Amino acid sequence: LTSPLAPQRDLTHRRKRRVLVVQSPTLNMALVDIPAAGRLNPRSRPNPALNANMADRGFAPLEAGDIPIAGRHVLRSFKLQRSDIATDANLLLTQDAEVAVCKVSVEEYLEQIVETRTDFEEVLTAIGLVENVSAEAVMTDISKLERELRALLRHCKIQTAARPAQGVGIVGIRAERLKFPRYD
């Protein structure tokens, strides 16, 4: 409370509240740790909901530099595939989550990356490019991403194999064979 004798302040100019912008932390609650997955490791990946650029996600910028036009087309499609993979929320595995969706996604991405790698290799061999720094950087990133996807796929296969088959009871006896009392 203020004194009635104190001069009144101007009420037309209200104070603006300062809003602190806090970035969402990396989601690591009960996320699986797959060290071989590198940049796709669920523990170290930033939240896909954040609009982080590719450099913040651990992916190096790729320059078209001296790459021929046919190779640039393959590079553009690879960049789109890479951003899709980096922002896919299905690849964030938790400890007890169902890995079937992740496995399907990883298999599709792996097929696309292998196809992109073979297309890029065909372009480079057709042109006869021997020494090209930009092409080497692209091939390195493609093979690294392929290796990381294979590590995720291996983890999904292990998790799928470790789970008991559905429909099998505790003892392994089907419910139809058990004799329960009937009350008519």
pLDDT in tens, 75-125: 999 999 998 888 887 777 776 667 788 888 899 999 999 999 999 999 888
> What is the Cα–Cα distance from 120 to 148, expressed in whole angstroms?
19
Decide which of 99 and 129 is more confident: 99
> What is the Cα–Cα distance from 99 to 141, expressed in whole angstroms?
26
> What is the Cα–Cα distance from 122 to 140, expressed in whole angstroms?
16
Q: CA dist 96 to 25, 28, 67, Å?
A: 21, 14, 44
Average pLDDT for the chain? 77
Is the overall model pTM greater than 0.85, yes or no?
A: no
- Reported as a pLDDT band with limits 50, 70 and 90, residue 62 is confident
pLDDT of residue 146: 94
Check pLDDT > 50 for residue 25: no
Where b means 16+ CB within 10 Å and e means fewer, 133-160 reads ebbebbeebbeebbebbbbbbebbeebe
**Sequence ranges of the domains in the chain:** 68-162
Decide which of 30 and 119 is more confident: 119
Check pLDDT > 80 for residue 1: no
